[in-house]
Structure 1
Amino acid sequence: MNKVVQKETRAAGTMPRHLLLLSKSQEVTDVSRRLAAYGWHCLTAASGHEAILKLSGQQLGVAVAMLCPRADTLSSDIALIQSHFPHLLWIALTDGKLDKACQWLLSARFIDYHHSPLDWDSVNKALGHADGMAKLLPVKTAGVKITDILGTHPCIIRLKQDIQKLASTDETVLLSGETGTGKGLCAKWLHRMSARADGPFIALNCGALPNGLIQSTLFGHEKGAFTGADRQYQGHIEQAKDGVLFLDEIADLPLELQVNLLHFLDDRQITRIGGKSPLKINCRIIFATHQNLEKAVDDGTFREDLYHRINVLRLHVPSLREYCTEVRLMAEAFLAQLSPPNRSLSFSDSAIATMRHYDWPGNVRELQNRIRRAVIMAETSLITPDDLGLSVAIHAKHRDLVSQRDELDVEAVLKAISDHKHNMSAAARALNISRSTLYRLLKKEPG
């Protein structure tokens, strides 16, 4: 009896565990069979939209992505799935050939990865840990609020003050800022602190649905309006009556629907697809985008009249780099939220120092995901940079700097030296340069 059959025999009679398997590779059938031998039932999908449809109504905690050498083949799909199912814990299977984009994707989105030749026992063990943690998280986070805006940095204080001002009005608000900064959370704060707090909060990511579904999702439809419309459907605008509608990634809304949205903002009336009578809807709308809307207007992808209509009260949500002194406070709050009740975890000094020096390209969302990863990966009560997955990320950052050696500035060199406690040889190795080159760069005049 071969090893796979032994595993299948061992798994027989047990309740199957479920996971999402995202892959564009033809090897997906073999991987699904391998995981089935350990008792895993795989919901397979080749795209983000397919995954969202298959995950609807499911209660999965773990997702596996088979990454090709070029990460851009799945990066947007994973981002789309995470926008709908942020609780999923991701594990990657790779062939070991990682380009820079793939390295970033692994560090920002995944709690663990395994490269070929795959050790399926190790993969199964990692999946089991992740599945167990996923089952704990809803219990742990239920009723837990990190809704207080943490920190005393000037930009955080300014954000609190601005939210209080905007919450006292009923006007449309536009939230801008990088991906992962917490624009959705700011929208919820605006709702909870407003006179509409008792009303519904309805959120829609405008970039997460196919164009053919957005109009129906936003404005609703009548029974029989089109093939498959077997019942009346109230769109998100109608669902937000007497409450707040949060439209995220508004720059992704198709031009033809931008006209309809502009009309609603002007007269506060909608007509369902297939409907005859307009409906008066009283709701507040909060928009958000990480894109440059001014450039989108210049490029002709966003209507200028809609831009001026929504860009009245604008709130910029700062990136984590702008208040990096608050990283420890936020990290400890996330750790308290995400730690299992039977474990006492804390950050090592090196983990705190590493988090403070990291650039956080994924902002607060990345910080939360890295701590979620660390809770699973930590083997002791002290979380290390390796548990956070930051050692590899910072090393890759140093390599990127060296690939542009002519632009390498003194500040970056000093940071590498500080990271390695003034060990010049270690700093030079981290930067992938010789000691003589390191000393030369230290003598470089600032430009």
Structure 2
Amino acid sequence: MDFASATKRCLIWLGQPSTRDRQIMAAVGWNVRAIEADQTAQIGMRGNETVVVCIDTRSLDADVLSQAEQLALTHPDLPVLAIVDPRTRTDQDVQRLLRTCTADVSLPLQTNTLQRALEECSAHASSRSHGPQANAIDMLLGQSQAMLEVRARLHQYGPIALPVMICGETGTGKELAARALHELSSRAEGPFVAVNCGAMPTNLIQSELFGHERGAFTGATTRRIGHFESAHGGTIFLDEIGDLPLDAQVNLLRVLQEGSLQRVGGSQPVVVDVRVIAATHIDLHRAVDAGNFRNDLLFRLDVLRLQMPPLHKRGDDIELMAHHFLSDFRDDHPATIARGFSPAARRSMAAHAWPGNVRELLNRVRRAAVVATASMISEEDLGLDTGAQVASGLDSARVHAEHETLIETLRETGYNVSACARKLKVSRVTIYRLCRKHGLSLEQLRN
């Protein structure tokens, strides 16, 4: 079994991180090691780790400060990250702490701001770098539970040179995830070759994948290097692997088993060193039952599995990405009038089923930015006004359920915003936004 060497990243958390804190840290590729007040002297620093100390100002007390001072004495090169509640930034103890920290990040934790703060800390770390910085993973936007899990899986799978099967609907970002796996691996400096198995002409698939020799068939006037040879030393991404014909599946299985291929019309084996990442939007197990996909090939490809969530299950990520896509469009087209989305447009985006997923959202936002005649994009600009009466009824039921769930969870948690956010698996900012949306006063509720 071939495992890529990669520096581990460890965050020494002084105090008790919440489940949500751990999930977000995992999503940006860091393992959390929580340290109790009486454990400081037992902290071990492993040679292959990039280590950062994390001080959470929500639990800033004498014990935490003592831990930080002891770590500074015993490990003076360790960078320190402060997690700061914006309401406490003016506190004198917090101000003194921030002057000694390498970087700080404000609550609520977001993967993009956290990533930048941790990269700043990593630049000061004495441990060796964990390798080239990935760009594709930063383009997988979202703070939903589903996307945090995807990002955490990418960091887990990236350094391990085993095949990965990426499953998910069309438009969910499977190729972007494959690029992220490549960039997080030891093969990042090698080629990344993406192949759409469903777009290749049936009579040329063998030649496209494995190459051919001169004279192998009519029209083969020169030797051709196939996609697998082009990916030597790197990663090959086989998109829509379920569309591959059975005869090509046989040859692909041979390459995976033997680590070599034979060009069409050739007689000598060609050794290839590639990591294979495959993707599909269909159920390959059903394809096996139907006789359209080889069972032995499925077992070879489906070693590590990554499930990309559909957009309609990603909650607030929809609006977050819509604003991001609009901002990018405005950067490229400064004359664009549109600057945001109307309340009706936001409600329509939340209620839409998004059969085309992220790709559909991107295209609708771009089109709306072009046709909009006001600063706020409307639901008509997005093309989401069809069936508005049905959507309105569903939206009304959704709002009512949201209100009841919020009230009930606040009551169960003693109207503690942090506890309510953890229970609902959202950020504190979302809880405050929902309270404003439903006209709820936390102060009155507590009294």
TM-score by length of 1: 0.56
- Give the Å deviation of 1:418: 6.1
- Say how many residue pairs are matched: 263
Find the counterpart in structure 1 of residue 185 from structure 2.
194
1:415 and 2:406 matched:
no
| 8 Å Cα contact 2:276/2:301 also seen in 1 | no
Residues 49-68 of structure 1, C-alpha deviations (whole Å, 9 max, x = no match): xxxxxxxxxxxxxxxxxxxx
Find the counterpart in structure 2 of residue 359 from structure 1.
353
Tell me how far apart the structure 2 counterparts of residues 382 and 145 of structure 1 sit (CA, whole Å).
30
Find the counterpart in structure 1 of residue 252 from structure 2.
261
Instruction: Report the residue type matching 1:302 in the other structure.
Output: F
1:315 maps to which of 290, 295, 306: 306
Q: Equivalent pairs: percent with the same residue?
A: 45
| 8 Å Cα contact 2:344/2:379 also seen in 1 | yes
Structure 1 residue matching 2:346: 3-state secondary structure: helix
Counterparts of 1:163-202 in structure 2, within 5 Å, are 163-202=154-193
Instruction: Report the residue type matching 1:245 in the other structure.
Output: I
| 8 Å Cα contact 2:136/2:176 also seen in 1 | no
- Give the Å deviation of 1:154: 1.3
Tell me how far apart the structure 2 counterparts of residues 166 and 256 of structure 1 sit (CA, whole Å).
30
| 8 Å Cα contact 1:180/1:364 also seen in 2 | yes
Residues 230-262 of structure 1, C-alpha deviations (whole Å, 9 max, x = no match): 211111101101111000000100001101000
Tell me how far apart the structure 2 counterparts of residues 242 and 376 of structure 1 sit (CA, whole Å).
43
Instruction: Report the residue type matching 2:376 in the other structure.
Output: L
1:203 maps to which of 194, 200, 203: 194
Find the counterpart in structure 1 of residue 226 from structure 2.
235
- Cα RMSD of the aligned pairs, angstroms, is 2.2
1:376 maps to which of 370, 379, 385: 370
| 8 Å Cα contact 1:222/1:273 also seen in 2 | yes
Relative distance call for 1:419 and 1:315 in structure 2 (3 A) is closer
Unaligned runs of 5+ in 1: 1-143, 399-411, 422-447
Counterparts of 1:50-89 in structure 2, within 5 Å, are none
Find the counterpart in structure 2 of residue 343 from structure 1.
336
Counterparts of 1:92-241 in structure 2, within 5 Å, are 147-241=138-232
Structure 1 residue matching 2:296: 3-state secondary structure: helix
| 8 Å Cα contact 2:136/2:177 also seen in 1 | no
Instruction: Report the residue type matching 1:415 in the other structure.
Output: L
| 8 Å Cα contact 2:239/2:278 also seen in 1 | yes
Find the counterpart in structure 1 of residue 324 from structure 2.
333
| 8 Å Cα contact 2:136/2:179 also seen in 1 | no
- Give the Å deviation of 1:417: 4.7
Instruction: Report the residue type matching 2:319 in the other structure.
Output: R
| 8 Å Cα contact 1:146/1:333 also seen in 2 | no
Residues 80-134 of structure 1, C-alpha deviations (whole Å, 9 max, x = no match): xxxxxxxxxxxxxxxxxxxxxxxxxxxxxxxxxxxxxxxxxxxxxxxxxxxxxxx
- Give the Å deviation of 1:292: 0.4
1:275 and 2:266 matched:
yes
Tell me how far apart the structure 2 counterparts of residues 223 and 314 of structure 1 sit (CA, whole Å).
39
- Give the Å deviation of 1:194: 1.2
Structure 1 residue matching 2:139: 3-state secondary structure: coil
Unaligned runs of 5+ in 2: 1-134, 401-447
1:391 and 2:385 matched:
yes
Residues 323-379 of structure 1, C-alpha deviations (whole Å, 9 max, x = no match): 122111111111122231233522222211111111111111111111121122112
Relative distance call for 1:151 and 1:331 in structure 2 (3 A) is same
| 8 Å Cα contact 2:137/2:176 also seen in 1 | no
Instruction: Report the residue type matching 2:381 in the other structure.
Output: D
| 8 Å Cα contact 1:167/1:193 also seen in 2 | yes
| 8 Å Cα contact 1:246/1:286 also seen in 2 | yes
Tell me how far apart the structure 2 counterparts of residues 200 and 164 of structure 1 sit (CA, whole Å).
19
2:287 maps to which of 278, 296, 300: 296
- Give the Å deviation of 1:416: 5.4
- Give the Å deviation of 1:184: 0.8
Structure 1 residue matching 2:315: 3-state secondary structure: helix
Relative distance call for 1:145 and 1:349 in structure 2 (3 A) is farther
Tell me how far apart the structure 2 counterparts of residues 419 and 293 of structure 1 sit (CA, whole Å).
35
Instruction: Report the residue type matching 1:341 in the other structure.
Output: P
